[in-house]
């Protein structure tokens, strides 16, 4: 059985329930409707407001501004404009928006919106600055020498990424002639927002500070000591339990011809090619770093293997292999691709992977930060 409803009454009830303060005026600016929120704010009843001209409840000094605005209205709402309104007991400040439709003028305001926009603009500025800081924390260039070459691919899932990487030669001062060591690390921090990006920067700054504060030129360089130094500083900072840091640190010692690495939770294990016929995983990984895990469990050990010319190491966060398209992960396709390109130099490898990944991705959105570092050992120079 069909029932009759008074849609006008329904609409009036709904408008009366909301927090927005609403006035509707005719083309001449005379008020024909006000909702309960506006009536309560001004201290008038609906019947007292009805029939007044909008200009009559404004401070005189704003009449010219209001007339010009009312004469220029369209169906597109204006930006927020601040007005001083005569309430029953006080002059009240209210930010209002205006638009015209069907020969009626709609006026509405809610200071919550204005505060929301103020906070949003402030956050936009802060995020823009954070993006700049995060980008500056990424290396402008990576080592590229006759003996070893690094190249990278980095694509954040959003404006701010939770991944960070770096590679640099260790400075040994007067002993430089006796050492040629390179450190490379990838950090994957849970999430990819403002907090994750700032924590990733903390990872990089802390690792760099190890070489200022702890490392003595000529002393054995151990990734696990760098890792334990980072954990000590991380726990001192008191980061929330829900944060996770996955961190892989590798040291390439070209004098001793040894690769030493330490893995804290990076479950996408680095891949090594050129040390035989197969691509092998460096799959010795410990727990990720978190304040929720007892310090006695955050203990890591070094793993080592010999370096030989032509070896190529692929270090990546999980964003690349775990990206999906057409219900398939990229991981198997990536491993198949690496078998045919690992003999190239790192920049060419990166370009081939990026082209293939773009083809695989099609129109899918990137789900997680993409970080890949390729390291190749080259024949020693004469």
- Tell me which of 93-97, 149-153, 216-220, 251-255 is least confident: 216-220
Give pLDDT, residue 233.
93
User: Which domain CATH number covers 35?
Assistant: 3.30.450.20
Does 194 score more than 80 pLDDT? no
Q: Would you place residue 53 in the very low, low, confident or very high pLDDT band (cuts 50, 70, 90)?
A: very high
Give pLDDT, residue 235.
92
In this structure, are 273 and 363 located in the same domain?
Answer: yes
Q: Would you place residue 5 in the very low, low, confident or very high pLDDT band (cuts 50, 70, 90)?
A: low
Positive or negative, the Cα torsion across 253, 256, 262, 268? positive
In this structure, are 342 and 306 located in the same domain?
Answer: yes
End-to-end CA distance of the chain: give it in Å, rounded: 96
Over residues 201-213, mean pLDDT: 91
The 8-class DSSP code of residue 170 comes to P
Could you report the per-residue pLDDT of 223-240, keeping only the tens digit for each?
Answer: 999 999 999 999 999 888
H-run or E-run covering 59:
none
Could you report the per-residue pLDDT of 124-183, keeping only the tens digit for each?
Answer: 887 787 778 777 888 889 999 999 999 999 988 877 677 889 999 998 777 777 788 999
In this structure, are 158 and 67 located in the same domain?
Answer: no
In this structure, are 94 and 195 located in the same domain?
Answer: no
What domain count does the chain have? 2
Work out the mean pLDDT of the chain and round it to a whole number. 88
In this structure, are 151 and 269 located in the same domain?
Answer: yes
In this structure, are 61 and 154 located in the same domain?
Answer: no
pTM of the model: 0.73
Q: Please state at what angle helix 111-137 crosses helix 194-213, rounded to 10 degrees.
A: 30
- Residue 108: half-sphere exposure toward Cβ, Cα within 13 Å: 14
Please report whether residue 118 resides in a domain: no
Q: Which residues pair with 286 in a beta bridge?
A: 264
How far is residue 52's CA from residue 289's CA, in Å, rounded to a whole number?
A: 66
Please report whether residue 124 resides in a domain: no
Where in the sequence is the domain holding 298, given as residue range(s)?
137-377
Please report whether residue 121 resides in a domain: no
Please report whether residue 175 resides in a domain: yes
Give pLDDT, residue 365.
86
User: Which domain CATH number covers 200?
Assistant: 3.60.40.10
In this structure, are 224 and 318 located in the same domain?
Answer: yes
Does 379 score more than 80 pLDDT? no
In this structure, are 361 and 244 located in the same domain?
Answer: yes
Structural tokens at position 199 = 């924590």
């Amino acid at each position: 059985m069909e029932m009759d409803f008074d849609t006008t009454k329904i609409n009036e009830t709904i408008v009366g329930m909301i927090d927005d303060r609403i006035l509707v005026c005719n083309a001449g600016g005379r008020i024909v409707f006000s909702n309960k929120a506006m009536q309560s704010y001004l201290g008038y009843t609906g019947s007292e407001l009805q029939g007044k001209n909008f200009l009559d409840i404004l401070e005189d000094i704003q009449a010219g501004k209001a007339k010009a605005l009312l004469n220029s209205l369209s169906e597109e709402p204006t930006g927020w404009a601040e007005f001083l309104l005569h309430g029953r007991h006080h002059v009240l400040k209210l930010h209002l928006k205006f638009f015209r439709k069907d020969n009626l003028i709609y006026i509405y305001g809610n200071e919550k919106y204005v505060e929301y926009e103020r906070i949003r603009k402030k956050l936009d500025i802060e995020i823009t600055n954070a993006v700049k800081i995060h980008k500056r924390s990424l290396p402008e260039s990576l080592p590229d020498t006759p003996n070893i070459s690094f190249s990278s691919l980095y694509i954040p899932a959003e404006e701010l990424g939770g991944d960070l990487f770096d590679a640099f030669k260790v400075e040994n001062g007067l002993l430089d002639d006796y050492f040629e060591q390179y450190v490379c690390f990838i950090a994957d921090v849970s999430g990819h927002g403002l907090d994750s990006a700032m924590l990733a920067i903390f990872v990089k700054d802390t690792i760099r500070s190890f070489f200022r504060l702890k490392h003595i030129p000529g002393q054995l360089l151990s990734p696990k000591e760098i890792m334990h130094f980072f954990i000590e500083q991380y726990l001192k900072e008191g980061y929330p339990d829900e944060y996770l840091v996955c961190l892989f640190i590798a040291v390439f010692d070209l004098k001793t011809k040894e690769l030493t690495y330490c893995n804290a939770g990076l479950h996408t294990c680095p891949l090594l090619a050129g040390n035989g016929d197969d691509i092998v995983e460096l799959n010795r990984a410990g727990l990720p770093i978190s304040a929720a895990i007892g310090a006695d469990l955050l203990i890591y050990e070094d793993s080592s293997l010999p370096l030989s010319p032509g070896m190529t190491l692929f270090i990546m966060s999980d964003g690349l292999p775990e990206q999906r398209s057409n219900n398939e992960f990229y991981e198997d396709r990536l491993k198949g691709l690496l078998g045919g390109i690992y003999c190239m130099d790192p920049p060419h490898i990166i370009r081939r992977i990026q082209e293939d990944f773009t083809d695989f991705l099609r129109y899918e959105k990137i789900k997680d930060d993409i970080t890949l570092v390729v390291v190749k050992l080259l024949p020693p120079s004469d």
